[in-house]
Chains A and B, each alone.
Chain A
Amino acid sequence: MSGIITRRNFLRSSALAGTGLVLAGCDQFDFLGSRDSPVRQAMERANVLTYRAQRALIGDQTLARTYAASEIRQGQRPNGSTDPTTPEYMFLRAQDFASYTLKVTGMVERPLEFTLAELRNMPSRSQITRHDCVEGWSCIAKWTGTPLGPILDMARVQQGARFAVYHCFDNIQRTLTGDILYYESSDLVDAYHPQTLLSYGLNDQVLPVANGAPVRLRIERALGYKQPKYLHTIELVDDLSAFGKGKGGYWPDLGYDWYGGI
């Protein structure tokens, strides 16, 4: 008899505890917002699993869905930086990017530098794709540019390079101690993907400033924050810890997953 009472008490108190957890709101899980929380760090391992699972499942050359021209029903919605105010960028913009160069540096046999005119004269590719923002919205647009893969081949990426880091002009965040400049990175699978473009055209027009002029990267199998705008340097590296807060991108430094394919 006493056994039953104990069990009942146990069940009742667990039910009460469970209800309390729900009714008290969710402030008690706010600690997961801290990047130092060991529980959060354990949960972040799931993002590594996602990355490995998708890399195993998706062929390296498998293309993202492309759409018909009739699906372009609106302008490409800009997000993040839309009007960078760093002196370097404002100077280039004032002269219509005439002295802009895109650099390929780091772990390459032959560092390269291209003017905008040179990039535009290279073999180009156009694709109508869907841009998916991490916030949840999508927008279809036509992107024109130079595929990144052949450029990396020209620069001859060294053995041991694992990532491409994309350095940008835009001051995504202005702080008391100075501007934080946008940067992103990808593995070499995404860098060499046939749809990965150094894009200078949007919907058959010159890429506007709000969308990343003069050159923005397109990595079509990833979310919007993996499409860095205002790109000026591509650096091949074997380790991401030296950049920003070491997570491989402005948003990853703020706690977003680095892979960005989900």
Chain B
Amino acid sequence: MSDTIAAEVANTGPLIYRQSIWTRTTHWIWAICLFFLLLSGLQIFNAHPALYIGQQSGFEFENAILEIGAFNTPDGPRGRTTIFGQQFDTTGVLGMSGSAARPSFVGFPAAVTIPSFRDLGTGRVIHFFFAWLFVGTMFVWFLASFINGHIKRDILVRPADLKGVPRDVAEHATLKFKHGRSYGPLQRIAYFGVFFILFPLIVLTGLTMSPGMNAAWPWLLDLFGGRQTARTIHFGVMLLLVTFFVVHIIMVLAAGPINALRSMITGWYRASPGTPSGEGDRP
């Protein structure tokens, strides 16, 4: 028995305090925010399930790049999604969903909207509440992570990180993950993209949809090429954040869900064997 334990100890790296209380708290608040922002956002989208390029929405001219709707056919109604002029039958998911006996003609189905029924006013109440919480958390994260060095240590992409990408890709492809003291090249690129590009973009494009903010900061309209383009970018960034979430979960599962979850709850992370010990580590 004691031999087994000794072997185990030899096979593991040190237990390092990897995630500060600021990182952990903001992580979980963000997770809750993004859940509600996504589902209330789809509720809001369903009030007018189309996306345009430009200042306004073309009703008498064509500038839509996405339209979700339902149409009558000889065989009954069908859900149809039009993307860049290409039509797709999306019955059951987009445009028409629910049971065959009682179909519901909405953009996104009830299962992915809050509330499940159509209620734009409530969707907006939820969306703006969590938007404030999201932005407040962003402020705390940027301040804390700048001060405690998390941004410099783990998030900023340095030239050396770019050189390390091919090797990191190979390691990910063979599911050999190195659990070090700081983030690897692909992790840095992913988190840099989320924190420094996607998060600011989704907040600013959201503000660009506010007529009040358009008066205060008219440059927002010029930056994004119009209110309707901003709405389209807002939707596109949402899709990228959902993609990030899916990859994030896959990586957590592949790289060791217990260790990853422990580090995001308690802060303590089991590093790979061979990781040099540092001050404050536990065996």
- Chain A positions within 8 Å of B, measured between CB atoms, are 7-8, 11, 15, 22, 25-27, 29-30, 32-33, 40, 43-47, 49-50, 54, 57-59, 62-65, 67, 71, 73-75, 77, 130, 132-140, 220-223, 251, 254-257, 261-262
* Residue of A15, A22, A134, A262 with most partner-chain B CB within 10 A: A262
- Which of A32, A57, A75 lies in contact with B216, CB distance below 8 A? A57
| B227 located at the interface, meaning its Cβ lies under 8 Å from any Cβ of chain A in the complex | yes
Q: List 23 A-B contacts (CB under 8 A).
A: A7-B262, A26-B112, A26-B116, A29-B114, A29-B115, A40-B125, A46-B129, A54-B212, A64-B211, A65-B214, A74-B60, A130-B211, A132-B227, A135-B48, A136-B44, A137-B48, A137-B56, A138-B228, A140-B56, A220-B215, A255-B121, A261-B212, A262-B212
- Which of A47, A67, A135, A221 lies in contact with B212, CB distance below 8 A? A221
By beta carbon, the residue of chain A nearest B49 is A136
| Chain A residues within 8 Å of B262, by CB | 7, 11
Given A30-B116, A73-B56: A136 and B231 within 8 A (CB)? yes
- Which of B61, B117, B213, B221 lies in contact with A74, CB distance below 8 A? B61
| Chain B residues within 8 Å of A46, by CB | 125, 128-129, 131-132
A222 to B127, CA, bound (A): 18
- Which of B57, B59, B119 lies in contact with A33, CB distance below 8 A? B119
A77 to B48, CA, bound (A): 14
By beta carbon, the residue of chain A nearest B119 is A33
| Chain A residues within 8 Å of B122, by CB | 32-33, 40, 255
> Is A261 in contact with B210, judged by CB distance below 8 angstroms?
yes
- Which of A27, A73, A254, A257 lies in contact with B116, CB distance below 8 A? A27
| Chain B residues within 8 Å of A135, by CB | 47-48, 120
Among all A-B residue pairs, the 6 with the closest Cβ atoms: A261-B212, A74-B60, A255-B121, A137-B57, A43-B129, A136-B48
| Chain A residues within 8 Å of B119, by CB | 33, 255
A262 to B209, CA, bound (A): 7
| B261 located at the interface, meaning its Cβ lies under 8 Å from any Cβ of chain A in the complex | yes
- Which of A15, A43, A73, A262 lies in contact with B126, CB distance below 8 A? A43
> Is B55 in contact with A140, judged by CB distance below 8 angstroms?
yes
> Is A26 in contact with B115, judged by CB distance below 8 angstroms?
yes
By beta carbon, the residue of chain B nearest A74 is B60
| B257 located at the interface, meaning its Cβ lies under 8 Å from any Cβ of chain A in the complex | yes
- Chain B positions within 8 Å of A, measured between CB atoms, are 35, 39, 44-45, 47-48, 50, 52, 55-61, 110-117, 119-122, 124-126, 128-129, 131-132, 209-216, 218, 221, 227-228, 231, 257-258, 261-262, 265
| Chain A residues within 8 Å of B131, by CB | 46
* Residue of A43, A54, A251 with most partner-chain B CB within 10 A: A43
> Is A73 in contact with B61, judged by CB distance below 8 angstroms?
yes
> Is A64 in contact with B215, judged by CB distance below 8 angstroms?
yes
How many inter-chain residue pairs (CB < 8 Å) link A and B?
162
> Is A32 in contact with B132, judged by CB distance below 8 angstroms?
no
A22 to B132, CA, bound (A): 23
A77 to chain B, nearest CB (A): 5
- Which of B44, B58, B110, B221 lies in contact with A73, CB distance below 8 A? B58
By beta carbon, the residue of chain B nearest A140 is B56
- Which of B58, B125, B231 lies in contact with A47, CB distance below 8 A? B125
| Chain B residues within 8 Å of A47, by CB | 125, 128
By beta carbon, the residue of chain B nearest A71 is B55
Seed contacts A43-B126, A71-B56, A256-B121; 17 additional CB < 8 Å A-B pairs: A11-B257, A11-B261, A27-B116, A32-B115, A33-B122, A47-B125, A47-B128, A67-B55, A77-B59, A132-B227, A133-B48, A136-B48, A137-B59, A138-B55, A139-B56, A261-B210, A262-B213
> Is A65 in contact with B215, judged by CB distance below 8 angstroms?
yes
B208 to chain A, nearest CB (A): 11
> Is A43 in contact with B125, judged by CB distance below 8 angstroms?
yes
A221 to B48, CA, bound (A): 21
Given A46-B132, A54-B216, A138-B57: A30 and B115 within 8 A (CB)? yes
Given A26-B116, A65-B215: A73 and B60 within 8 A (CB)? yes
